[in-house]
Amino acid sequence: MSQPDARSTAAQEKAALDQVPTQLFIGGEWRDSSDGSSIDVEDPATGKTLVTIAGATVEDGAAALDAAVAAQADWAAVAPRTRGEMLRSAFELLTERADHFAMLMTLEMGKPLAQAKGEVTYGSEFFRWFSEEAVRIAGRWSTSPDGSTRFLTMRQPVGPTLMITPWNFPLAMGTRKIGPAIAAGCTMVVKPASQTPLTMLALAALLEEVGVPKGVLNVVPTSRTGDVMEPIIGDPRLRKLTFTGSTPIGKQLVKQSADQLLRVSMELGGNAPFLVFPDADLDAAVEGAMVAKMRNMGEACTAANRFLVHEDVADDFATKFAAKMAAQTLGRGTEDGVDVGPLIDAKALDKVSELVDDAQQRGASVATGGSRTGDAGYFFQPTVLTDVPADADLMREEVFGPVAPITTFSDDDKAVAMANDTEYGLVAYAYTTDLGRMIRVSEALEFGMVGINQGIVSNPAAPFGGVKASGFGREGGPEGIDEYLSVKYVGIAP
Ligand code: NAP
């Protein structure tokens, strides 16, 4: 574990926490919870409370939806250029204040500061991208095949949207919903994860500063999540639900949305395979594996969950990968030189430990790591396991931690079959230098995204999303704004 420079980090942490809003943001006003409820936000590196914020009640949730509904018509009428310029200003302010936002994320979520800054870059880019998309919402003019009618096709804002986001990327999971919603002219109620609400509250203050009108964006952290969200989802004035989080909660929310036939986008869990073919550049594959596995301490829906390596190169790959993993420095994310922060909570740490124990009991060997570490906080050693059998739980479940199980394959068809043998379908990675293999494998993989010779696929200019139990809908890219637009056609008899 690395040693902190206690004085300077403590001062920076205090400054970040002193500035963060701690109230609900409803109808353009900062207010306390209607019954005085609160949420203690914990530092996962110490288990101690960082700050206490207001927690929304059912009444507060209803007030947030009232505000979003009241603001919708005027907001939809705001000129696209004006909406785009608000996003552009938000991008610039976020960039200017990257250190502040990064510090908040590191404190509430645990990721090292350098990665938190990376998330500010990634997250703010959704605002820049959608500032450019706001002015390109186009329609169509066409003639019916028999010539009797003209079709005017337009794309209009879907309307008030509920956004529910997870704790692992407190900024980016918000901006990739808020960006296109602002660009499209939708109002919104945002419910950040109760473990990481600070970044979203700070973002709401920033959006207020750039002139997003009252009621367009409402933020209601709550610890009574189901009780507060269900009536909003059941309210006929809500038009869309967009959710990023676990597959079980996603399924539950799809069921709740069915009564209203809401427009729904679901960004859910993953179980990403990382394939290494015998012709791969092995050093590049190891570099890619580090990124695909260790970004966010493995707490990413896109994290490589299973390493499927050709038997001819498996030993070399495992040795090089284990050496890199063993060289990682664990510590509190605010400390200099830290590569790996804590996991989010004790439950997550227990789950990772259980998955590693289960794999070992079924015959896997530990190449490096293998256990929890540290006296405080929720730290797990970067771990590489070899000879992991297909029936080990961590080959089927999202490990959501710094653990890399390696198993081998003998031919391409088997590799693809193993990769596809999961209920999930978010992302797959493959390392190969053979162009034909790149094409064949990319086409055969049943995933929404494929990274070839790269360990990261997230990019605001590309359509992020999954198939199967990883959900539906796309965030980012030209497709990202479509989720917030409805198509209407007008038939005109000339
Ligand atoms: P989670 O437990 O499903 O929580 C996600 C969000 O849903 C949180 O805001 C949570 O609120 C809320 N929630 C929980 N129960 C709810 C209910 N009954 N009704 C309405 N909302 C409810 O997931 P997580 O543990 O935060 O995040 C990790 C999961 O997200 C992983 O499976 C990961 O793969 C997935 N993820 C997917 C993507 C993607 O783009 N595909 C991106 C990032 C993460 P509380 O915090 O108050 O419980």
* CATH 3.40.640.10, applies to 272-459: no
Band (pLDDT 50/70/90 cuts) for residue 6 is: low
Nearest to 202 by CA among 226, 184, 175, 179: 175
Chain centroid to Cα 471, Å, comes to 13
> What is 290-346 written as a DSSP string?
HHHHHGGGG-STTSEEEEEEETTTHHHHHHHHHHHHHTPPBS-TTSTT--B---SSH
So what's the pLDDT on residue 7?
52
Nearest to 246 by CA among 168, 181, 312, 320: 168
Supply 437's token pair.
């293999």
pTM: 0.97
Length of the chain as a residue count: 494
* CATH 3.20.20.10, applies to 6-268+471-490: no
| Cα–Cα distance list, 211 to 85, 193, 422 (Å) | 10, 25, 45
Q: Which residues neighbour 41 within 8 Å (Cβ) at sequence distance 6 or greater? A: 49, 50, 51, 52, 53, 108, 195, 196, 197, 198
pLDDT digits (tens, 9 = 90+) for 452-481: 999 999 999 999 999 999 999 999 999 999
So what's the pLDDT on residue 5?
53
- The one-character DSSP state at 340 is B
The residue whose CA is least distant from atom 46 of ligand 1 is 193
> What is 123-159 written as a DSSP string?
HHHHHHHHHHHGGG---EEEE-TTSS-EEEEEEEE--
Average pLDDT rounded to a whole number, residues 46-62: 97
- Single-letter code of the amino acid located at 166: P
Helix (H) or strand (E) holding 289: helix 282-294
Active site residues: 267, 301
Average pLDDT rounded to a whole number, residues 302-323: 98
193 CB within 6 A, ligand 1: yes
279: how many CB neighbours lie within 10 A of its CB? Answer: 14
Compute, in angstroms, the gap from residue 73 CA to the centroid of ligand 1: 30
| Cα–Cα distance list, 345 to 53, 195, 341 (Å) | 19, 9, 12
Q: Rounded to whole angstroms, how far apart are CA atoms 188 and 205?
A: 15
398 CB within 6 A, ligand 1: yes
So what's the pLDDT on residue 76?
98
pLDDT digits (tens, 9 = 90+) for 338-353: 999 999 999 999 999 9
412 CB within 6 A, ligand 1: no
Supply 2's token pair.
């690395």
Q: Is 170 helix (H, G, I), strand (E, B) or coil?
A: coil
244 CB within 6 A, ligand 1: yes
430: how many CB neighbours lie within 10 A of its CB? Answer: 26
Compute, in angstroms, the gap from residue 249 CA to the centroid of ligand 1: 7
Compute, in angstroms, the gap from residue 95 CA to the centroid of ligand 1: 26
Q: Rounded to whole angstroms, how far apart are CA atoms 429 and 442?
A: 9
Q: Which residue among 232, 265, 301, 472 has the greatest number of ligand 1 atoms within 8 angstroms of its CB, and so is best to mutate?
A: 301
Domains 6-268+471-490 and 272-459 share a fold: no
So what's the pLDDT on residue 222?
98
267 CB within 6 A, ligand 1: yes
Supply 20's token pair.
């963060």
Compute, in angstroms, the gap from residue 345 CA to the centroid of ligand 1: 14
Band (pLDDT 50/70/90 cuts) for residue 9 is: confident
Q: What is the mean pLDDT of the chain?
A: 96
As beta bridge partners, residue 385 has 366, 405
Ligand 1: atom nearest CA of 248 is 3
426 CB within 6 A, ligand 1: yes
489: how many CB neighbours lie within 10 A of its CB? Answer: 12
So what's the pLDDT on residue 18?
95
Band (pLDDT 50/70/90 cuts) for residue 4 is: very low
Is the pLDDT at 3 greater than 60? The verdict is: no
Compute, in angstroms, the gap from residue 247 CA to the centroid of ligand 1: 8
Q: Rounded to whole angstroms, how far apart are CA atoms 297 and 15?
A: 26
Ligand 1: atom nearest CA of 269 is 34
164 CB within 6 A, ligand 1: yes
115 CB within 6 A, ligand 1: no
- 253 within 8 A of 233, measured Cβ to Cβ: yes
Is the pLDDT at 217 greater than 90? The verdict is: yes
Q: Which residue among 53, 225, 251 has the greatest number of ligand 1 atoms within 8 angstroms of its CB, and so is best to mutate?
A: 225
233 CB within 6 A, ligand 1: no
- The one-character DSSP state at 411 is S
Residue with tokens 């109620």: 189
pLDDT digits (tens, 9 = 90+) for 387-436: 999 999 999 999 999 999 999 999 999 999 999 999 999 999 999 999 99
So what's the pLDDT on residue 53?
98
Compute, in angstroms, the gap from residue 405 CA to the centroid of ligand 1: 24
**What residue ranges do the domains of the chain occupy?**
6-268+471-490, 272-459
Band (pLDDT 50/70/90 cuts) for residue 376 is: confident
Nearest to 159 by CA among 258, 239, 213: 239
Cα angle 117, 120, 126; round to 5? 155
